[in-house]
Structure 1
């Protein structure tokens, strides 16, 4: 059928309207999709931000500067079946204590049978059982002691003085043994001030506030200032020292706790900065011994010192690249070199052999750097190696120098536990008190000394007696 002109126009208009409607629907659909895409981009942005935060937090626990003992998120290692018997390893001390002679013997008898209640019983034998016991709380109460001190005048020089006793502090109302007890609770059990007061209330029926406990800590810390300064002098004269640092919150700000460990002494110190200031203060700018440390730039200020970079840090850093074939290869080569260093040191080489081996290792390190410097993804570990190029083999050249800084990292563990317990120091005095007493106690433990006796000696000599009458330390 042939359409006339009007019908054709009408049909075209209808088609146009249909197309307009479809076009409008397409535009609406496009707008909805644009909105959806924008929402997805926003979500992607949020997820990327969250991912960065998670990666940042993860780096606190999984980074080459975190020792294995502090890594919380470790991969579970598959346990291989063992043919050995269950139980403690050889040399384990066990829990059985050596029995001591009794101070008191208590006779325990029976008047009747516990089963039927009969009084017709016969004694067969005596079964001995020994226990170690504390006296009851009421017998462990503190004593109140009055010291009637003579005030005297020297007839030769006219000096008027008050008689002294090693059990009587010149200031304060707490005795020597009580102060020793509080310091041991504070530093050996890591008890917080409030809990020390509660504990002494329950066990000794002795009331003491957290403020009074803190006053005791401050008083004993002040008394130990001289001993702490002697430690610093000894460390300055040491031929080698392990140094490490970790962050610590003080008054809500990030401070740094530093440890300095020699073969016989340990110093703990706090500073606002992670820079070279504390190194100048403790070791001195002219320190010329061997410093075992990580790769932190602050140690470069010790111009006269000989540096030994920590191989444990290096291997942890190289281990991050094990997933890659080339990264796995460089890690294996470094690990092999480290094992060779340990074996060489155990062989007790002479000076000539040390020099020869030092040159060999240095040459091998140069070759390793040339071989792997072209791999861009290894830039960080290559730069780390190059920065410490002259400091990786000091332990080969000099005897009795460890290739790792594990001794310092072990020393840091105790303050790290304290940090987890208290969270932060709320005064500058708190850091000073902790540094002095923690240093002395750590040093005494390192030298297997009786901490209680050493602490008592410090208190008596500095809080009870004049210089003329000091007890031997």
Structure 2
């Protein structure tokens, strides 16, 4: 009799324990490998939805839909350029003597106007005769200053770029995300103005110093705002990772480039004792604003549920489907209230039922690891899922903050970030002012020009009434 066969057919307790331990280790390794592959799959699916366009999207469709909206009366009258209110030049366009089609005689029937708006590729040069003198009392140097001057420099530094050109440069580099080098090219190609990249950089830095009081006043305004939306994204300063923060209120948007992504940085913008409403994406440090009322972004949660449904089995997908249905039901309930289809009392009753349903969902236990993580996250967010229903008027998402970050994300892809801390400081102040101007419907060009022409830092008319 083979002793090995006898041993294998009648294993001892010790042998069974060893085999059990070996199987446990194999199972643990298999589970770890499964989790690793699941994360890779999730990352691959997320990469397909990122803002950056892929190098190739495969073969084009044979019959693609026409881009843009469909034509028809549903979208109102067709839009055309408005007739200009002023005309600088009139040009007569006579008929040809012969028909271009058959060579016959042409008879005049009518005269119709056509307008053309264009730019002028020409710079103007101003010569300021600056009077200089001295004070008889203290002996100090004194010189005159015209409202159109952007600098007091004389002598070798007495040739300056004008306020309109510098304002254009500030908009191109800070609002449009174009590098200083390319801005200089635009000014030369478009207007025949030759200016170096370093000159533009120094001018924008001077502008940032003049804008600092306005930035500080805007920051004070958001601290006193009843509702704010927060978000952040990565940003490079001197090739090192920092974070670009944005805070959006009803009338003001401010940005801050800070070295971290925690509560200390958020508190530096809003103050540790902020007690208003905060819309955000559920990032944990935001909840350290213990005096604030929170609204976690439902768009983030809905997208997370959609991602889970794509990769989960039919059984595991039931939980994210139920969660997504509940969140969408909350948004539909808000819309019904806005349309005055239900009363305030009806809204409160329906909100209570919605929250009770969420309680029942989260009271369950889940075998699927992804569902357990989602349930854990939702239990933490649960008190702040439906703040927008308890306080009508509060947004259910932080989409406004995400939209405010998108121009900065485009700029980051174009030229990477800032080279110095001083450049980052200038960046945050100027994009705050430009974005707030657009938010309030005010002309940013006039206000940036006003800053360039100011001999000292000043506060622009962008700060809401604190009362």
* 1:55/1:248 CA distance change after superposition, 3 Å: farther
The equivalent of 1:333 in structure 2 is 325
Are 1:253 and 2:235 matched, yes or no? no
3-state SS of 1:134 partner = coil
Q: Distance in 2 between matches of 1:88 and 1:184?
A: 36
3-state SS of 1:198 partner = helix
Map 1:134-173 → 2, pairs under 5 A: 134=118, 136-137=120-121, 140-149=122-131, 151=133, 161-171=142-152, 173=160
Q: Distance in 2 between matches of 1:246 and 1:88?
A: 40
Q: Distance in 2 between matches of 1:103 and 1:381?
A: 65
The equivalent of 2:44 in structure 1 is 58
Q: Distance in 2 between matches of 1:417 and 1:95?
A: 29
Q: Distance in 1 between matches of 2:72 and 2:261?
A: 43
The equivalent of 2:267 in structure 1 is 280
Q: Distance in 1 between matches of 2:405 and 2:220?
A: 21
Question: Any stretches of 5+ residues in structure 1 without a counterpart?
Answer: 1-47
Q: Deviation per CA, 1:295-351: give whole Å up to 9, x if none.
A: 111112212111111111111111123253342442453344333442354256777
- Structure 1 residue 244 displacement after superposition: 0.7
- Structure 1 residue 217 displacement after superposition: 1.3
* 1:360/1:228 CA distance change after superposition, 3 Å: same
2:403 to 398, 410, 414: 410
The equivalent of 1:242 in structure 2 is 229
Verify the 8 A CA contact 1:345 1:396 in the aligned structure 2.
no
2:189 to 199, 202, 205: 202
Q: Distance in 1 between matches of 2:136 and 2:75?
A: 62
Verify the 8 A CA contact 2:95 2:106 in the aligned structure 1.
no
Verify the 8 A CA contact 2:330 2:354 in the aligned structure 1.
no
3-state SS of 2:383 partner = coil
Map 1:30-49 → 2, pairs under 5 A: none
Are 1:190 and 2:177 matched, yes or no? yes
3-state SS of 1:103 partner = coil
3-state SS of 1:381 partner = helix
- Structure 1 residue 369 displacement after superposition: 0.6
232-241 vs 429-438, which deviates more? 429-438
Q: Distance in 2 between matches of 1:111 and 1:373?
A: 83
2:91 to 79, 94, 106: 106
* 1:227/1:88 CA distance change after superposition, 3 Å: farther
3-state SS of 1:230 partner = helix
- Structure 1 residue 445 displacement after superposition: 0.4
The equivalent of 2:23 in structure 1 is none
* 1:136/1:311 CA distance change after superposition, 3 Å: closer
164-173 vs 359-368, which deviates more? 164-173
* 1:427/1:383 CA distance change after superposition, 3 Å: same
The equivalent of 2:355 in structure 1 is 362
Q: Deviation per CA, 1:115-142: give whole Å up to 9, x if none.
A: 6999x977635543423243552xx223
Q: Deviation per CA, 1:360-390: give whole Å up to 9, x if none.
A: 3332211111235455441121111111121
The equivalent of 1:313 in structure 2 is 300
* Greater relative contact order, per chain length (Cα 8 Å cut-off, separation 6+): 2
Are 1:87 and 2:71 matched, yes or no? yes
Across the aligned residues of Structure 1 and Structure 2, the Cα RMSD in angstroms comes to 4.1
TM-score (norm 1): 0.74
Are 1:425 and 2:411 matched, yes or no? no
3-state SS of 2:428 partner = helix
* 1:171/1:182 CA distance change after superposition, 3 Å: farther
The equivalent of 2:383 in structure 1 is 390
Are 1:215 and 2:202 matched, yes or no? yes
TM-score (norm 2): 0.75
Q: Deviation per CA, 1:205-258: give whole Å up to 9, x if none.
A: 221111111112111111111111111000000011000111122222222111
Q: Distance in 2 between matches of 1:171 and 1:55?
A: 61
* 1:178/1:110 CA distance change after superposition, 3 Å: same
Q: Distance in 2 between matches of 1:388 and 1:249?
A: 31
Are 1:456 and 2:459 matched, yes or no? no
- Structure 1 or 2, whichever has the larger Rg, is 1
